[in-house]
Amino acid sequence: MGPKSERVYSTICEWIAAGKYPPGSKIPSERTLAQDLEIGRTQLRQVLAKLVSEGVIEVHDRSSYRVPNHTVSVQAPTDLEPWQIHGERTLYDNRWVKLELVDVEPPGVERFEHHVVRLQHVAIAAVIDDQDRVLMLWRYRFVPKSFGWELPGGIVDAGESPSATALREVEEETGWRPDALEHVVTYQPMVGMVDSPHEIFVGNGATLVGEPTDLEEAGHVAWVPLADIPELMARGELMGSGTLVALLHVLASRTAKKSATGAA
């Protein structure tokens, strides 16, 4: 797609992400979109076709489009009690890691002190190009003493939004500037004892703006075919939970979209 099509693509994605068109709602007609976004109908249809293929919107009656309304059948129990927290004390604290003892009381169990490790807030990005390749780094990690493929990402600085962090980290570590990124999930990698929120972003397209500037974090930069990801995972060459969660999300989303398209 050209610059105008990319602009329209990003605008529609932003509208949906911001809730302008909530799940299940109908988006404007092609005629209205073409006028409002100042784009030709042929180019607009290419954008809409891409959004449909990615599962961002669904097509009905050939020219009517809606935001998917994904429903969940399972219901969460409502009769369980949370643990009670009576206090906490710090054993160790620096810029990178904080170790605490938290005084907790599970329902029906005598209270005790539980170790909690608090780490930094992290943002990670999977950037996909028009050839179904993902932007990755081949890096050495001294803790597991091995090389592996990772997605770019890093710590969310004070006063910085996670999305800004993801954009910044991709550019600093790879030299590529993403066209746009969409937040897909926030998760905790070791929820039983470690507090470290991980924000996962996914985007399509990027522009090469220079060489990596973060030399400590940089590795060998490559566009890795998504088709290779299952085998790289089986060989243990994908490092870090953020990389695995993001890529599994991308692969699962594509499988779901293909199934939906086949069913239609």
Q: Is 74 within a domain?
A: no
pLDDT computed for residue 204 by the predictor: 92
pLDDT computed for residue 263 by the predictor: 46
How many structural domains compose the chain? 3
pLDDT digit string, tens, across residues 166-187: 999 999 999 999 999 989 999 9
What is the residue whose two structure tokens read 């050939």? 62
Token couple for 224: 């890795």
Q: Are residues 175 and 94 in the same domain?
A: no
| Backbone torsion region of residue 47, taken as left when φ is above 0, otherwise alpha when ψ lies between -120 and 50, otherwise beta | alpha
Torsion of CA 138, 142, 143, 145, to 10 degrees: 80
DSSP state of 67: -
Q: What is the CATH number of the domain that holds 204?
A: 3.90.79.10
Q: Are residues 126 and 255 in the same domain?
A: yes
pLDDT computed for residue 99 by the predictor: 98
Would strands 198-204 and 182-187 be described as parallel, antiparallel, or unpaired?
antiparallel
pLDDT computed for residue 3 by the predictor: 84
Q: Are residues 234 and 144 in the same domain?
A: yes
pLDDT computed for residue 264 by the predictor: 45
DSSP labels for 143-157?
TTTEEEEE--EEE--
Say if CB 147 and CB 223 are below 8 A apart. Answer: no
| Helix boundaries (H) for the chain | 3-17, 30-36, 41-53, 162-174, 229-234, 241-263
Q: What is the CATH number of the domain that holds 50?
A: 1.10.10.10
Q: What is the pTM of this model?
A: 0.72
Domain that holds residue 99: 84-118
Q: Are residues 100 and 60 in the same domain?
A: no
List own/partner pairs for 154-163 with CB under 8 A and 24 or more apart: 154/122, 154/123, 154/217, 155/120, 155/121, 155/122, 156/120, 156/121, 156/122, 156/123, 156/199, 162/121, 162/123, 162/199, 162/201, 163/123, 163/199, 163/201
Kindly give the confidence (pLDDT) of every residue in the chain, 264 residues in length, as a single tens digit, with 9 standing for 90 and above. 678 888 998 899 889 888 888 888 889 999 999 999 999 988 998 898 888 888 888 887 666 888 888 777 788 898 999 999 999 999 999 999 999 999 999 999 999 999 999 999 999 999 999 999 999 999 999 999 999 999 999 999 999 999 999 999 999 999 999 999 989 999 999 999 999 999 999 999 999 999 988 777 767 999 999 999 999 999 999 999 999 999 999 998 877 666 554 544
